Amino acid sequence: MPICIECRYPVSTLYTTYSKADDKALGKGVRLTQCPRCKRFADKYVEHDFVVLFIDLVLIKPQVYRHLLFNRLGREDERFDPSIVRLGILLLLFDVYLTWARIEKATPASPALPLSPPPPLPPFPSGDSGFSNSSMHGNQTLSNPESDNSILATQPILLQYLFFLALCTLETVSFHAPIRTLLSTKFPRPISALIPHYPHLALISTALLVSSFTKLFPLMLLVWNYDLPSSASAVSWAVIINNIAALEILLGCGYVRAALLAAVGAVCRAGIGWGILRAVGVGGGVAAAGVVETGDLIEVWRTLMETVGLG
């Protein structure tokens, strides 16, 4: 059932079509429903195009999230809207490109065989910028202390891409799964005061995917040359902030509890990513680059320890 995006009050309809002769796409022939509680339009975004929706998503306006989650993308059969499935696949492919590029940037190379940056075309880095330089130097691999024993460094480019695809898929699942599990479980008091109960699992993942749209911002790398690690770090933290805002808007639980839920998912994702990268022989510093939040927190902790004289 649709709701008012201003006060969350349920309404029967969002608009009424009173003339078939006019063009609905131009906002004609449609009369918006007035909310009986707050006396505002129940959903003003019915008349707005996607440009306005995108701008308001960037501004993290609660009204646009309620419009998307409850009045457009939410389904009563607890299934994903097809557009959300497409968005999830697109975000996954961009995540593959960013993770691969971050790890390659963080991989120390010997002076004789420097690593070239990956091409700014997601999601497939070119063959001459992987962990091995077989296309330029025969079967010779990069000689550095963290990649000599790496299983991944000796594999063909296609297998490396499939590895990063599987890695990012598992990281995404490990981020969504604990949040969905916690919210779908009815905890007794006092745990229920920290973790609210919300049984609509598809809507939870929809909120997390919609709020992760900032992962698409590296498209600007195709136009301008940015410092990739810094850009990836900024994008990752922006995604987390948007995830917290989306959970708070969906659940109405306050930012503290929403941040706690997002933190649980982020910790699980970081643990999975770190463990998989270490399992294939990727060193600690490079593995931290593959999980941006982990690498940033480690760097902040190291800087703090050096500042207080304990590093």
- Position 285 scores a pLDDT of 54
Higher pLDDT, 243 or 142: 243
Alpha-carbon gap, residue 285 to 227, rounded angstroms: 18
264-281 confidence digits (pLDDT tens): 998 898 888 888 888 887
- Position 154 scores a pLDDT of 79
pLDDT at 282 exceeding the cut of 50? yes
Give the range among 23-37, 75-89, 178-192, 278-292 with minimum mean pLDDT: 278-292
Higher pLDDT, 257 or 27: 257
pLDDT at 257 exceeding the cut of 80? yes
Q: What percent of the chain has pLDDT over 90?
A: 38
- Position 217 scores a pLDDT of 79
pLDDT at 293 exceeding the cut of 90? no
The Cβ of residue 195 has, within 10 Å, a number of other Cβ atoms equal to 19
Q: Are 251 and 179 in contact (CB under 8 A)?
A: no
- Position 63 scores a pLDDT of 95
- Position 200 scores a pLDDT of 92
Determine the Cα angle at 287 with ends 204 and 303, to 5°. 95
Question: Going along the chain, which residue ranges are E strands?
Answer: 15-17, 30-32
Alpha-carbon gap, residue 221 to 205, rounded angstroms: 28
- Position 95 scores a pLDDT of 86
Alpha-carbon gap, residue 149 to 162, rounded angstroms: 20
Tokens matching residue 17: 């079509």
pLDDT at 161 exceeding the cut of 60? yes
Q: What percent of the chain has pLDDT over 70?
A: 69
- Position 286 scores a pLDDT of 52
pLDDT at 141 exceeding the cut of 50? no
Confidence of residue 124 (pLDDT cuts 50, 70, 90): very low
Q: What is the mean pLDDT of residues 181-195?
A: 90
Higher pLDDT, 104 or 2: 2
The Cβ of residue 82 has, within 10 Å, a number of other Cβ atoms equal to 9
Alpha-carbon gap, residue 302 to 311, rounded angstroms: 7
Higher pLDDT, 56 or 270: 56
**What integer best gives the mean pLDDT of the chain?**
78
pLDDT at 36 exceeding the cut of 60? yes
CA distances 257 to 75, 101, 192, 251, 265, Å, are 25, 33, 11, 10, 13
- Position 116 scores a pLDDT of 47
Dihedral angle of Cα 48, 20, 5, 76, to the nearest 10 degrees:
-110
